[in-house]
A and B are shown apart, each in its own frame.
Chain A
Amino acid sequence: MIPTPDLSHLTQTDFVHVYEPAEDTFLLLDALEQEADELKKHPPLICLEIGSGSGCVSAFLGTILGPSVAIHLSTDINQHASSCTLATGRQNKIIIDPVTCSLAQPLLTRLTRSVDILLFNPPYVPTDTEEASIAQGGGGIAGAWAGGASGMEITDRFLKDVDGLLSDRGKLYLVALKQNDVSGICSRMLTEFNLQSKIVIQRRAGREHLFIIRFSRPNRCS
């Protein structure tokens, strides 16, 4: 049992601006824990979390892997989130290097086919397009959930970059909602980028039916 990262340094004021870990976060932690042996057997060198929020997920991955074995980069469009991520790393003795930006934009050139573990818990809640685009532009907490049409507008933008980022043995762990059309996402990633997928874990949490999908290049993992 890997302990959930210590977030006691964050306050309710932080969670006014930054998404507080909830069922979707915990499902992603459970998926990573389930994969822990595999992750440790072939330790990743470069990990990148998109939309790190509180920093809980990267800190958890760092705890699984142990200190000084991997670089943990993270991004978020919300500056408060970047600060929380940095602080959560420190609190849990994991060095996380946060960058305030949209998706992986400033990293795409230099991280071409270099990322071993990619994590994304996207804004997946279906909203109208305008709400999602205002939320992304505003850099506030609404950017953590407002996902536009089918909840997929932000995710779809990112999925185009995944093939370019993943190393040969790289894996993406993506959080998705049933309404996002999980099998549609998987078949698009296969036809467009030849990335295979597996549902690592799924759970109903209140009104949400949540999935963690793992994408990888063919024949790299079971």
Chain B
Amino acid sequence: MVRLVTHNLLACHVKGCTTNNFPLAFQDVQIELQEAEFNPEFVKNLIPRLEWGALADAAKQVGDTSLPPEEPDMMDDDLLQKLHHVLLEIHVIEGAMVCPNCKHVYPISNGIPNMLLAEHEIG
């Protein structure tokens, strides 16, 4: 499933596409919400692994504006809840992700991103 946590970890890997190849932009997405158990400690531990700006922006692209555009200095429980929802409960089911640099389109179908490249695109 393309949860936003997964989206935050994927970059374009077309041969030679090495700058401005993250974050991929969502295109024509359908989303589904699926409740997940809230573990504040887990969400807190994930923060250092995230690109906050990319996450807040991805959330906005799928219609969720609950995160501040920049990582706040203080994390209260309310914000952790919001982060939990954005990261782990929003599932992109259909659509595509587009590289901001080379414009390569990675389709998402049945909740699975297809990041395969053709032979000549592999680095």
Q: List A residues at the B interface (Cβ < 8 Å).
A: 45-46, 67-71, 73, 77, 79, 82-83, 86, 95, 97-102, 105-111, 114, 137, 139
Nearest-neighbour CB distance to chain B for A75, whole angstroms, equals: 8
Known: A86-B112, A99-B112. A69 touches B10 (CB 8 A): no
Give B13-65 interface residues, CB cut-off 8 Å to A. 13, 21-22, 36-39, 42, 45-46, 49, 51
**A137:B115 contact, CB within 8 angstroms:** no
Q: List B residues at the A interface (Cβ < 8 Å).
A: 1-3, 5-6, 8-13, 21-22, 36-39, 42, 45-46, 49, 51, 88, 106, 110-117, 119, 122
Total A-B Cβ pairs within 8 A: 84
A114 surroundings in chain B (CB, below 8 A):
49
Known: A45-B49, A106-B11, A107-B10. A100 touches B42 (CB 8 A): no
A139 surroundings in chain B (CB, below 8 A):
116
**B38:A68 contact, CB within 8 angstroms:** yes
By DSSP majority rule, is chain B's interface helix, strand, loop, or mixed?
loop
**A77:B42 contact, CB within 8 angstroms:** no
**B112:A71 contact, CB within 8 angstroms:** no
**A79:B36 contact, CB within 8 angstroms:** no
Given contacts A46-B49, A71-B46, A110-B9, 7 further A-B pairs with CB under 8 A are A70-B42, A86-B111, A97-B2, A97-B5, A109-B22, A110-B10, A137-B119
